Amino acid sequence: MATDYYELLGISRGADDKVIKAAYRKLAMECHPDRAGGCKEHEARFKAISEAYDCLKDPQKRAAYDRFGHAAFQNGGAGGNPFGGGQGFDGFSDIFSSIFGEFMDPRAQRTSAARGSDLRYDLELTLEEAFAGTEQSIAIQTLAACGSCNASGSRGQSAARTCGTCGGAGKVRAQQGFFVVERTCPGCMGSGEQIADPCPECQGEGRTLKSRKLNVNIPAGVDEGTRIRVAGEGEAGMRGAPAGDLYLFVHLKRHPIFERDGSTLIAEAPISFTTAALGGSILIPGIDGEKIELKIPAGIQSGETLRHRGGGMNVLNGRGRGDLMTRILVETPTKLSKEQKAILEQFRTTETGDECPASKGFFKRVRSFFDG
């Protein structure tokens, strides 16, 4: 009896799905055990053509069979590798590893689990530091390379050996049918090696917990929530593996004068009602330390905003600065001397209503409302 699936079904290797299905149905009717009175030979042939059809009707199984033959479905190497070497495949996932290359094969490259973890550090800055940029010295406690074993994890000159659990892959796999589940090897924690004589200080990890200081440069223009990556300053990796990264998250302290909106600074400036009526000027401090003189136009209303171009924050990773927006708040005096009250009473006797057109218009509408 032929063992090739295509020969079993009597079709060519280029047959399409319809031809495969028709050939199977025809042979299945001829060889079905119920029609042959329980004949063992017919029963064996029926199982063989059913197996062939089950493989060839599935595009993935068929692709694997076309390339590797029966070895594609043999665990443990019973069928051998059709490309030499005498080694079989560890399940269907290995077929796709060979077809699509190393990036599909979990054993082709060691797991990255041994890489050090990334660290987070919350850095608090003043608005002035965020404006100008600064260099900050920070202290972090993290896993650093062990000095006793030079990050090797071994005592003295003893060498590491290949992990017997994962065979050096750093991963172990559990397979059910065509599904493969991978996890970090518990024997070597993903490094692929085991230490015969571990370093007593780091217990074979090649790293120990240490405190260290680090100087970091903060660029001008950072804002609340800005994330800064400092490459290679995170936790040290296992036994000399690459270190993780350090991420700085910026937080800004509350400023007594300014609020920030992107590159724009916002300030509130209370002025007297006489300055609002007659006009004048006020001085406010700039974020860069310079004094800024703002001209107050006569008749300005409370809540109006004055713009000072280029008085805001530096633009992060860019050029130029934002603007300074000053919101004017007209303050009504609460403590007046007798002389001041007398002057205001005299002013009130001269009012015609035209001095405050908004008030005049409002009360005119009120009177119309009451009059119906």
Report the side by side order of strands in the sheet with 305-308: 259-261, 264-272, 324-331, 305-308
Residues annotated within a binding site for Zn(2+): 146, 149, 163, 166, 185, 188, 199, 202
Between CA 267 and CA 263 the distance in angstroms is: 13
CA geometry: angle 308, 312, 313, nearest 5 deg? 170
Residues annotated within a binding site: 146, 149, 163, 166, 185, 188, 199, 202
Q: Are 55 and 76 in contact (CB under 8 A)?
A: no
Q: For residue 86, what is the enclosing H or E element?
A: none
Packing angle between helix 17-31 and helix 40-56, nearest 10 degrees? Answer: 170
Structure tokens at 229: 């990556």
| Tokens 């070497």, located at residue | 85
| 183 CB neighbour count, 10 Å cutoff | 12
* Residues 226, 232, 233, 237, CA torsion sign: positive
Burial class (CB in 10 A: 0-12, 13-18, 19+), 95: buried
* Residues 311, 312, 313, 317, CA torsion sign: negative
DSSP 218: E
Nearest to 217 by CA among 235, 229, 202: 229
Q: Are 311 and 328 in contact (CB under 8 A)?
A: no
Between CA 135 and CA 142 the distance in angstroms is: 21
Q: For residue 172, what is the enclosing H or E element?
A: strand 171-176
